[in-house]
Amino acid sequence: MSREVLNVGQVRIHPGSVSKEDAMREAADILEAAGAVTSAYFDAMQQREQTVSTYMGNELAIPHGTNETKDTILDSALSFVRYDGGVDWDGEPVAFVVGIAGKGDEHLDILSQIALIFSDEDEIARLKAAQTPEELFALLESVNES
């Protein structure tokens, strides 16, 4: 990838909790504001969620569209939102919602970078301890190196 998929403007921290649908909507809205997806991408995320949960474990969900809705993706990008009050993701506790849009097969590289971060409990603790979106972004910058 020749450009950054994540910038500080696509990283947010919320003190409370929201519904799964609201978390997915925010993920899609951030991606749309970044110019990575069309307004139809939220519907694509919902379609994916109806067939298979995007809950990944370690308090992480990665909502994304389906292969059939690839035309809603304009460019590769991520959104990263931490909900300190948590999100009930079909009975699973989620603190981190990472929206992903991958042009072509770029989502595979992006997903591998996210998986590396979330496979390390110390890294997850650092993500939870970050006080500002800027601090969170600094911990996540490696996703731009794929």
Could you list the active site residues? 64
Residue 107: CB atoms within 10 Å: 20
By the 8 A CB rule, do 49 and 117 touch? Answer: no
Nearest to residue 79, comparing CAs of 47, 42, 116? 42
CA distances to 5, 6, 51, 83, 123 from 35, in Å: 11, 12, 26, 23, 29
67 vs 103: CA distance, rounded Å: 11
Backbone dihedral angles phi then psi of residue 14, each to the nearest 5 degrees: -120, 135
The alpha carbon of 11 is separated from its chain's Cα centroid by a whole number of angstroms, namely 9
